[in-house]
Structure 1
């Protein structure tokens, strides 16, 4: 059971994570420290600061909260994904690394370092090895394929780039697309999902597909045939067989895989840290994705939030 939490600019208050922390705090009187802008939590917590300066003080052992970290049997650190939008992200994570080492947050019998990802499906994508080769790939793109990517900033995309959009709610990026492939929503297809905890879950269709929408894998399969590089997937079981080869954990239902995190994998860097306070990763919780932005109920909740 966790005895100490350090939350770093979480921004987006995920319901499941909040519920787990609240349950732990009530059951064990665990101490919770938070670094970031003022936020309302439904459990006892202490705001330690608002930015990187507080992190440095904790890493150097000068902050009063250090004693709670060092005395905790099962310390945990939650890093908000908004950190990785900053230019000094590597420097910040280096300080987090120092805190993790000194506080024994990562050890053979325990891994308490957590990163909350901002976008749906991002955890599974990382497990599958889907990472960009360059942080500036969009700026130089001549062809861009958006697969359910509704929150990608296309401001720096060249005006002559050819864009293909594959998705279900036709959100903001669909207006930049040259070709649109309508895809089935999560409620309309059999799918495999990895949640915030790293547990894999499978779903069945709740409602029929609308119009010409198709399952994502079927669209890619048909496109590969037209392009002359036909993929060997004719059934969903064949797709999952391939997943088993690349990331077998994605087929272990409702099981949490042991983390294989290692700081030795981090690249070397030379970067100066900015002392600019951490901001909120999400300003409007009710408008965080294409589905909620298309919802009348979420629009009403959003209006109430702004009052």
Structure 2
């Protein structure tokens, strides 16, 4: 499989300088602590939780993708602002005091989580995302019982290729996969159709998701809606051992993590390297690296 020019240019494009003038600093406060985000340096600056190690998690936000702000799990309280705001989408203002763990913040996130779980299936024991699920990591905002007594929304699974397994009833409509396909992979195969409760993610017409980077949507999916067909029901994350390595089957030299169990290679995952492959790897790297060994 040859790697497209777009894939190679992804790893060789110039990156902006990391420095900024001191005059471009804004002073804000996060949970009472002084914080100075760069003004004009990033696409969005209200990254209080991520930058400071505090709780501003979200399902739709991904640093390398455009801001969608549609999951609302990053809601935070800001003093003198009447309503909670989406921390990952709202540019900061001078002298803001952002409260990431107040009662108002926790209540807002709890409400969002309740809506997300209203249609989410209770199939955690058989979900391949178990142990790596962002939804499970937010259990602190959930409840041990649901007030939703109606029938859950049902959605047919999509056939988008031989590598990606879809269970669309688990989808929380974060649109990470849609933005990845358009902005990183450079294809418009994935998109949304419908509105409100009828909103769905798919390929519009029955077709495969054709890209050398298609398997990366498995890594960025925060739930178990998109998982690996070859890896299905083979191992749990806590059963495997991770070894950092370099892919030697392409000229890019992508940084990878090899996960093994009992000496057997189970899967290949990308490893962050800003100067080589960022946090993506090609399908060839992910699939052939251990299926030809």
**TM interval, short-chain normalised:** under 0.3
Structure (1 or 2) with the greater helix fraction = 1
TM-score norm. by structure 1 comes to 0.26
